[in-house]
């Protein structure tokens, strides 16, 4: 098991709020088992957001199945929503990718987490994802625009996915990837899966990550004849990850809120970050994953069966180096 690298300073965060350490919230591992205290808003919790305590009194659920495909015993790795903290999650993915065989894992994600799940299933190089995003941001002139990402973030994400994802992306995600969306007007959560093509997969990701009006000036995102918005909406409002992310407690959930060394404020998720800041986020996410992995069974318990052996990791070192070099050229 690799030791944790030194914590990386996150220049992009404003430091308005420092989250309470997980152990003080009664949590174990990288995901919260109960309701967190990050943004305690006086909102009622919809019955379909949380499974009822009693099976006899189970509340109506969104029209999806939370369990993995019938007969599947693969572990589940879920990525929570995060906006700009996508890059922190990408750092976690880099660590997990190098230490676990993610081809043997079911992947679930909402919003930014859905993008991470898709990249993981398609084997997209993390460094290339950073470089291509930076190049597109410069081409779109986001750093010079008074509104930053507002109104163009959607088209930028779509162009980014079209360049990064392989042509067989839908096949790679088949039976493995589920994206959480919020249906409109019911505001119920549901999964999108069984993608028909690369374009269909991209459309599903856009629906899962759709922040009303901010991405492209529109209120909702159409997908297969229905309207959706960001799949992490209720997580943001109710300060906890939904059962569709937790998969009824079966999933190992990656959520930036659980990093007690990461400083952030409530609206940092839509902040604009330059290349240096993005790389700092990635480094911080990697350091977090390495730190919690070294400290206990946070990843070992749910993902231990997929952990790579020492020999395999040594043999893969030149492969990662080559991919990183190619990413710097591609980006």
Q: pLDDT for 208-263, tens place per residue?
A: 999 999 999 999 999 999 999 999 998 888 878 999 999 988 999 999 989 988 87
* pLDDT-derived band at 330, boundaries 50, 70, 90: low
Q: What is the pLDDT of residue 60?
A: 34
* pLDDT-derived band at 296, boundaries 50, 70, 90: confident
Identify whether 201 is part of a domain: yes
4 has a pLDDT exceeding 50: no
What domain count does the chain have?
1
Instruction: Give the phi and the psi of residue 279 in degrees, each rounded to 5.
Output: -65, -30
Q: What is the pLDDT of residue 68?
A: 39
Identify whether 52 is part of a domain: no
- For residues 100 and 299, is the Cβ–Cβ distance under 8 A? yes
Mean pLDDT calculated for residue range 182-196: 96
* pLDDT-derived band at 22, boundaries 50, 70, 90: very low
Q: What is the pLDDT of residue 265?
A: 54
28 has a pLDDT exceeding 50: no
Say how many C-beta atoms besides its own lie within 10 A of residue 295's C-beta.
Answer: 10
- For residues 252 and 75, is the Cβ–Cβ distance under 8 A? yes
Q: What is the pLDDT of residue 297?
A: 73
The answer to whether the Cα torsion of 22, 121, 280, 217 is positive or negative is negative
* pLDDT-derived band at 11, boundaries 50, 70, 90: very low
Encoded tokens for 244: 């569709």
- For residues 291 and 22, is the Cβ–Cβ distance under 8 A? no
Active-site residue flag, 230 = yes
**Pairing outcome for strands 189-192 and 251-254:** unpaired
Encoded tokens for 49: 């957001």
Identify whether 186 is part of a domain: yes
**Residue tagged active-site, from 78, 111, 208, 232:** 111
168 has a pLDDT exceeding 50: yes
Identify whether 37 is part of a domain: no
* pLDDT-derived band at 6, boundaries 50, 70, 90: very low
Average pLDDT, the chain: 78
The domain in which residue 292 lies consists of 74-330
Identify whether 151 is part of a domain: yes
The residue behind tokens 């629906």 is 207
Count of all residues that appear for the chain in the document:
331
Identify whether 321 is part of a domain: yes
**Residue tagged active-site, from 230, 243, 268, 293:** 230
Q: Which of 23-27, 37-41, 44-48 has the highest mean pLDDT?
A: 44-48
Active-site residue flag, 232 = no
* pLDDT-derived band at 309, boundaries 50, 70, 90: confident
Identify whether 184 is part of a domain: yes
Identify whether 3 is part of a domain: no
Q: What is the pLDDT of residue 273?
A: 73
Continuous segment of H or E residues that includes residue 285: helix 275-295
What is the percent of the chain where pLDDT is above 70? 69
38 has a pLDDT exceeding 60: no
The alpha carbon of residue 313 and the mean position of all alpha carbons in its chain are separated, in whole angstroms, by: 24
Q: What is the pLDDT of residue 320?
A: 60
DSSP one-letter string for 217-275: S-S-EEETTEEEE-TTHHHHHHTS--HHHHTTTTEEEE-GGG-TT--B-GGGGG----H
C-alpha triplet 280, 284, 285: angle, nearest 5°: 120
Say how many C-beta atoms besides its own lie within 10 A of residue 259's C-beta.
Answer: 27
Encoded tokens for 313: 């990791």
Per-residue pLDDT tens digits for 68-119: 343 458 899 999 998 889 999 999 999 999 999 999 999 999 999 999 999 9
Name the residue with higher pLDDT: 174 or 271: 174
């Amino acid at each position: 098991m690799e030791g944790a690298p030194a914590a990386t300073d996150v220049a992009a965060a404003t430091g308005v709020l420092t989250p309470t350490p997980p152990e003080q919230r009664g949590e174990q591992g990288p995901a919260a088992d109960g309701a967190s205290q990050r943004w305690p808003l006086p909102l009622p919790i919809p019955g379909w957001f949380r499974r009822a305590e009693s099976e006899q009194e189970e509340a109506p659920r969104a029209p999806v199945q939370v369990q993995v495909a019938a007969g599947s015993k693969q572990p589940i790795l879920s990525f929570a929503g995060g906006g700009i903290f996508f890059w922190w999650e990408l750092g976690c993915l880099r660590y997990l990718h190098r230490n676990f065989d993610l081809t043997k894992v079911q992947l679930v994600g909402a919003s930014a987490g859905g993008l991470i799940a898709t990249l993981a299933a398609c084997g997209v190089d993390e460094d290339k994802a950073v470089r291509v995003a930076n190049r597109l941001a410069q081409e779109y002139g986001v750093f010079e625009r008074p509104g930053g990402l507002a109104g163009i973030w959607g088209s930028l994400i779509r162009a980014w996915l079209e360049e990064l994802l392989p042509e067989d992306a839908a096949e790679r995600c088949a039976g493995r990837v589920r994206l959480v969306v919020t249906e409109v007007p019911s505001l119920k959560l549901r999964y999108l899966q069984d993608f028909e093509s690369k374009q269909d997969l991209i459309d599903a990701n856009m629906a899962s990550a759709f922040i009303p009006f901010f991405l492209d000036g529109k209120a909702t995102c159409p997908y297969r004849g229905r309207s959706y918005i960001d799949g992490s909406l209720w997580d943001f409002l109710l300060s906890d990850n939904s059962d569709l992310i937790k998969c009824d407690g079966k999933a190992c959930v990656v959520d930036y809120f659980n990093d007690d060394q990461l400083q952030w404020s409530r609206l940092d998720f839509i902040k604009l970050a330059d290349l240096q800041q993005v790389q700092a986020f990635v480094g911080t996410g990697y350091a977090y994953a390495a730190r919690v992995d070294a400290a206990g069974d946070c990843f070992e318990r749910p993902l231990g069966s997929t952990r790579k052996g020492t020999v395999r990791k040594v043999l893969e070192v030149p492969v990662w180096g080559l991919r990183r070099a190619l990413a710097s050229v591609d980006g």
